[in-house]
Amino acid sequence: MTELGVASVTATGQDEPLPPTGGPWARGWDRFRSQHWGLVGGLAVLGLIVAGSCAPLLARIEGQNPYSYHLELLDDARGNAPRGPLGGVSTAHWFGVEPLTGRDLFAITLYGLRTSLLVGIVATAAAVLIGVLIGLLAGYAGGLTDSVLSRFMDVMFAFPSLVFMIALTALVPDSLPRVLVVVAVIAVFGWTAIARVIRGQTLSLVNREFVLAARSLGAGWRWILVRELLPNLVSTVIVFASLAVPAAVGTEAALSFLGVGIPPPAPDLGRSISDAIAWVQGDPMFLLFPAGLLFAAVLGFNLLGDGLRDALDPRAARTAWTGRQGRGR
Amino acid sequence: MTGYLLRRLAGVLVVMLLVTAVAYLVFFLLPSDPARLSCGKPCTPDRLAQVRALLGYNHSVPVQYLQYLRGIVLGRDYGAGAATLHCAAPCFGYSFPQGRPVTSLIAERFPVTLSIAAGAALLWLVSGVLAGLVCALYRDSWLDRLLTVGALGGVSAPTFLVGLMGILVFGFRFNVLPVNGYIALTDDPAQWAFHLILPWCTLAFVFAAVYTRLTRTQVLEVLGEDYIAVARAKGLSRRRVFVRHALRAGLTPVLTLFALDLGGLLGGAVITEKVFGMQGLGALLIDAVASSDLPVVVGCTVFAGLLIVLANLAVDLLHGYLDPRVTS
C-alpha cells in the first residue's frame, strides 16, 4: 500500500528571523498568537466547549429543558409546525421550538452540542492514544514488528470505514451503551493516520545523534521513548489531535444523521438535522440552528488546528493530514 | 516492473483476505443469530434448524468463512435436492428476506452509486486541483486567500449539511433543480444528468476543498526544492519548470488521494444517497442494517473493501509509473 505523502520536507521560504530567546514552545505560542484565525478558532472552540458543558445551566437560565413537550405552541393547520415567525422564536424559547413536539430548540441544540463534543473529544483521545502507541512501537522496534504493524495499518486503512461503522453500530447488541459504541467505532477507525505519521517520525528520530548518544551512554528503551522521542513528537500529536476532533465530531453527526448513532431521546445535532429534512420547507429554522452550531464547532476546531500546525510546524503533519480521515460522504 | 506488479498483486490478495475475514468474523461473532434473522415469522424450531442447515450456519465459523470465500470465487449452492438455491460466482451471500443473491442486489444498485461517484469525482478533481494550482501560483494574493477560506469552509461542512443547503436554496427557494430521485442513464441521459447536478455539486464541494488544500501545499513544497532551483538556474523557463518538474512531483499525492477517495465512494455514497433519496449501495446497506439482513450487510462491506483494495492497487501502479524509484 502507499504511504500518503509522509515525506520529509524542506521549508518553503519565509526565513523569518526568529528571536533566539525562549524555547520552542514560547516561539510557537508567539507564532500562534500572531495569526488571527487560529486565535479566533481557539476562542470559538473554548466558547462552544463552555456552552456545551454548561448546557443544563444555560437551559435553566432560559427556563426550559430539552424533554418537555409544548404542543400549545404548534399550529396543527400547518402539520404541527411551530406558530409564529422564525420557527417560534420568542423570549421564552430563544431558538423557537421543534416541530411535532414543541420541545425547546435552544435546549436541544445545546445538549446536542454537548453530546457531539463529548463523543468527538473522547474518541479523538482514544484514537490518538492507540495511534501514538502503535506508531512508536512500529518505528522504534523496527524489523518484523514494524512490518506486521505496518501491514495491519494498511488493512485498517483499506477498510471501508463509514460502511463498516454503520454496519457495526447497528449490529452490536442494545445492551451496550450506544455512546460508548460510537466512541469506540470512531476511535478504532481513526488511529491509523496518526500512527503512520508517528511511525515515520520515530523512524527518522531513532538514528539521530542525540538518541544514539543517549543509547551509547546506556539509556534503556524506556528512557529513550519517554525522554528522547516523545518530547519531539508532542507537537505532532497536538496538531493531529486538534485536527482529528472536527473529523470525529463530523463522523458522529453523520452516524446520527443516518440513524445509527446516538438514539433518541438524548438530544443530538446530527439527528436533529436529520429530523429537520422533512421540515426544511415549512420550518427552515429547525435546520439552521443545529446545522449552524455543528458547522461552527467543526470550523472552529479546524481553524485552531490549522493555526497550531502553522505555529508548531511539525512538517510531516502538513502533508499527511488533509481533513479526509473519518469523513462521512 | 513485473516483479513489482506481482508483489503488489500478492499484497492486494492478502489485504483482501484479511478484510473479508474481519468483516465476516466480526458480523457473525456478534451475538445476533443470522439464522434466526433469516428465518422469518413464525419461526418454529424445525424451520430454524432447516434455515441454519440451508445457509451453512451449522458449520464452524472458519468453515463458514472458507465456504464464503469459495462462493465468491466459484459460486455456491444453498441446500440440496429440488429446493437448491444457486448463487452464481461471485456469490456474496444470499438474502432470504429479499429472496435474492446479494450479488444481484449489489449489481442492481451499483449503477446509481457509480453515476453519483463518477460525475462528482470528475468535478472535484478538476475544480479542486485547479483552485489549488491558482493558490500556489498566486500565493498570498487575494485570490489565494479567498480560495483558501472557501476550502476551509468546504473541509468543515459535513456532506449532509452541504446537500441540505443545496436543496433548500436551489430546490425550494429558486426551484430550479430536482432534489431527489434517480433517472437511469439508459432511460433518459438528460434527466439523468439533471437529477444528479445537486448530488455531484454537493460531493464536489466537500471533496474539492481537500484537494485544493493538498495541491496548494504540495506544489508550494515542491517549488521550494533544490532541483527546481537548479532547473531554473539552468535556464529553463518558469512555465517549463512548473509544468514539467513541479507538477509531476506535486500532484502524485493528489492522484493517490483521488484513487482512494473514488474507491471509497464507489462502495456507497451513503450520506449523499440518503439526502437525495437515491437507491444506491449506501441505501442498500442502510436498509439492510435496519432490517437486520446480515448477508447483505456483509456483502456490501466486503464489496466496498474490494473496491478500496483495487483503488490501492491502482495507486501503486500509478506510483510505479510516475516515480520509477518505487518499482526497483
Instruction: Concatenate the DSSP letters of all residues of B109-163 into one string.
Output: HHHHHHHHHHHHHHHHHHHHHHHHHHHHHTTTSHHHHHHHHHHHHHHHS-HHHHH
B313 compared with A32, residue with greater pLDDT: B313
Show residues of chain A in contact with B225, CB under 8 Å. 10
Q: Between B135 and A35, where is the model more confident?
A: B135
Cα separation, A47 vs B158, whole angstroms: 21
Helix (H, G, I), strand (E, B) or coil at B166: helix
Dihedral sign (CA A278, A281, A287, A289): negative
**CB distance A10–B221 less than 8 Å?**
yes
pLDDT confidence band for A100 (50 / 70 / 90):
confident
* Residue of B135, B270, B281, B310 to mutate when probing chain A, most A C-beta within 10 A: B270
Taking the Cβ of residue B290 and every Cβ of chain A, the question of whether any pair is shorter than 8 Å is answered with yes
In sequence order, the β-bridge partners of residue A74 are A82
Q: What is the pLDDT of residue B37?
A: 65
| ipTM summary value | 0.81
Q: What is the DSSP annotation of A128-192?
A: HHHHHHHHHHHHHH-HHHHHHHHHHHHHHHHS-HHHHHHHHHHHS-TTS-HHHHHHHHHHHHHSH
Instruction: Check: CB of residue A282 under 8 Å from CB of residue A79.
Output: yes
- Cβ-defined contact of A280 to B167 (cutoff 8 Å): yes
Q: What is the pLDDT of residue A318?
A: 47
Q: Determine the pLDDT at residue A40.
A: 85
pLDDT in tens, B222-231: 888 888 888 8
pTM: 0.82
How does A236-249 read in b/e, with b if 16+ C-beta sit within 10 Å? bbbbbbbbbbbbbb
Q: Among B18, B92, B137, B160, which would you mutate to test the A interface (most chain A Cβ atoms within 10 Å of its Cβ)?
A: B160
pLDDT at A329 over 60: no
A-to-B residue pairs, Cβ atoms closer than 8 angstroms: 179
- Is B318 within 8 Å of chain A by CB? no
User: Do the Cβ atoms of B307 and B7 come closer than 8 Å?
Assistant: no
pLDDT reported for residue A53? 86
Per domain, the residue ranges of chain A are 52-322
Interface touch B161/A280, C-beta < 8 Å: no
Residue A316's pLDDT is 43
CB contact under 8 A, A10 and B164: no
With an 8 Å Cβ cutoff, are A2 and B315 in contact?
yes
**Which three three-digit cell numbers place residue A142?**
523496527
User: Looking at this protein, which amino acid is placed at residue A214?
Assistant: A
More confident residue, A131 or B64: A131
* Degrees to nearest 5, angle at CA B201 with B200 and B202: 90
Residue from B37, B113, B140, B155 to probe the interface with A (highest A Cβ count within 10 Å): B155
**Alpha-carbon span A199 to A192, nearest angstrom:** 10
- Partner residues linked to B87 by β-bridges: B76
- Above pLDDT 70, what percent of chain A? 85
What parts of chain B have a pLDDT lower than 50? none
Q: Which CATH architecture has domain A52-322?
A: Orthogonal Bundle (1.10)
Cell of B223: 517549488
Give the burial string for B80-111 (b: 16+ CB within 10 Å, else e).
eeeeeeebeebbbbbbbbbeebbbebbeebbe
CB contact under 8 A, A322 and B257: yes
Q: Which residues in chain A have their CB less than 8 angstroms from residue B152's CB?
A: 299, 302-303, 306
Q: Is the pLDDT of residue A323 over 50?
A: no
For chain B, the residue count is 328
Question: Residue A298 pLDDT more than 70?
Answer: yes
Q: Would you place residue A321 in the very low, low, confident or very high pLDDT band (cuts 50, 70, 90)?
A: very low
pLDDT for position A325: 42
Residues with Cβ within 8 Å of B203's Cβ and at least 6 positions away in sequence, in order, are A329, B116, B117, B120, B123, B124, B159, B265, B269, B272
- Does A298 contact B158 at a Cβ distance shorter than 8 Å? yes
A175 or B297, greater pLDDT: B297
pLDDT tens profile B274-295: 888 889 999 999 888 888 788 8
Task: Name the band, by pLDDT with cuts 50, 70 and 90, for residue A2.
Answer: very low
Q: How confident is the model at residue A118 (pLDDT cuts 50, 70, 90)?
A: very high
Q: What is the mean pLDDT of residues A155-182?
A: 79
Report, as an integer, the average pLDDT of A242-249: 88
How high is the pLDDT of residue B7? 82
* B224·A273 Cβ contact <8 A: no
Q: What is the pLDDT of residue A17?
A: 53
* pLDDT at site B42: 66
Q: Is pLDDT of A278 > 60?
A: yes
Q: Which residues of B touch A289 (CB under 8 A)?
A: none
Between CA B260 and CA B305 the distance in angstroms is: 11
Examine the pLDDT at A7 and tell me if it is beyond 50: no
Give the DSSP H or E segment for B101.
Answer: strand B100-101
Contact (CB<8Å) A2/B312: yes
Task: Tell which residue, B123, B285, B304, has the closest CA to residue B198.
Answer: B123
Structure confidence at residue A322 (pLDDT): 46
Q: How far is A199 from chain B (nearest CA, A)?
A: 19
Q: Is pLDDT above 50 for A317?
A: no
- Residue A314 Cα, gap to closest chain B Cα (Å): 14
* Alpha-carbon span B228 to B239, nearest angstrom: 12
For the beta carbon of residue B6, count every other beta carbon within 10 angstroms.
Answer: 10
pLDDT of res. B204: 92
Task: Please tell me the distance in Å from B64's CA to the nearest CA on chain A.
Answer: 19
The pLDDT value given to residue B256 = 82
Of B203, B271, B304, nearest to A254 by CB-CB distance is B271
Judged by a CB distance cut-off of 8 A, whether residue B302 touches chain A is: no
Whether the Cβ atoms of residue A109 and residue A94 lie closer than 8 Å to each other: no
